[in-house]
Structure 1
């Protein structure tokens, strides 16, 4: 590895270290209570080093959210766009839930905290909440596929996709906020899977 490549690798690693530290601090203490100095101290960097990579806290949070949505998009891409639309929609729902349960801190930044939306506005994003829109379009595409195939009765794919997203988001939020403790632990995964399947059936019957 040459000097230039090594410098670029080190730069990438430092940037990721900053993002990882910020992720933990934002979710543990809240965006407003964390300063750039706090982030620098967590990874033993000087505040000046942080500013070499991010001009302010908003830009840092915007980058963190964009990275998280990239990971979710990658999980969605693992679902084949071909085949039965109903099965595709179920698979997307499972991937969404798996992502939320495996990456609870990222999920909170992406969907629960208001700060990322304010940060995005401060960064003058070209497309409002581009990551969220891309994820939603994946769901809407599966719904439209089902409508075109005559599997789903809804006429408006966007409306139906919003209903689907709300359902899966609700399941993820109930799990992460530990509200599913009303059910025995060994039944929770089966109950979530059953809820996903039942909701898919409701979408097909048009109720």
Structure 2
């Protein structure tokens, strides 16, 4: 079963006078349709039908499907960025904050599988209508902040190596776990919390080994 298939049942067409469905409802429905059908296969008609609107009514909220995809990705990155800012501001050792950020990134991916796929796993050719710009800009900001914490850990002597390389290793490790478990849900995975904890233990033990 695809992730998109567990979405809420299709709404019936909204009767006249009931008003337009909220933007959030449109975005939630569109996430599943983009993931299941891809950018090219997703249409305004499909999205409108899913939320019980006419295509004309949906166009009152969004100019086109590119704008919808753009906003889905922006919302995902904004949520993640705000959570990371709170962790970065904590009065804790750099390694503690690094691990917290990695674990929060993983938790975000599992809690928002559709948005995660669209932001991180959708081929660039399918996001050429602006979503890749959101990912590049906000994602770059997140990564720069992450590198700054790695630099702090290197300055304190608790990590050794080039900060940008170390930051990419940590991020790639977190991303890989979310990506494979999200896209291969049929595999008999071990307990998720155990997998995350074991991977983080191994990763940080390896990076801090003398």
* Shorter-normalised TM range: 0.7 to 0.9
Instruction: Report what 1:192 is aligned to.
Output: 196
2:32 aligned to which of 20, 24, 35: 24
Secondary structure of 1:83's counterpart equals coil
Distance, in Å, in 1 between the alignment partners of 2:156 and 2:55 is: 56
Q: Residues 1-207 of structure 1 correspond to what in structure 2 (within 5 A)?
A: 14-81=22-89, 82-114=91-123, 117-120=127-130, 125=133, 129-154=136-161, 156-178=162-184, 181=187, 185-186=190-191, 188-205=192-209
TM-score, structure 2 as length reference: 0.79
Q: Structure 1 segments of 4 or more deviating over 6 A?
A: none
How many residues are paired up?
A: 190
Q: CA deviation at 1:129?
A: 1.6
Q: Deviations over 1:39-76 (max 9, x none)?
A: 11111222122222222211211111000111112332
Distance, in Å, in 1 between the alignment partners of 2:108 and 2:41 is: 27
Q: CA deviation at 1:34?
A: 1.0
The answer to whether the Cα contact below 8 Å between 1:117 and 1:129 also exists between their aligned partners in 2 is no
Q: Which runs of 5+ in 2 are unaligned?
A: 1-18
Q: 1:22 to 1:179 in 2, by over 3 A?
A: closer
Q: Which runs of 5+ in 1 are unaligned?
A: 1-9
Q: CA deviation at 1:103?
A: 1.2
TM-score, structure 1 as length reference: 0.80
Distance, in Å, in 2 between the alignment partners of 1:192 and 1:31 is: 31
The answer to whether the Cα contact below 8 Å between 2:73 and 2:135 also exists between their aligned partners in 1 is no
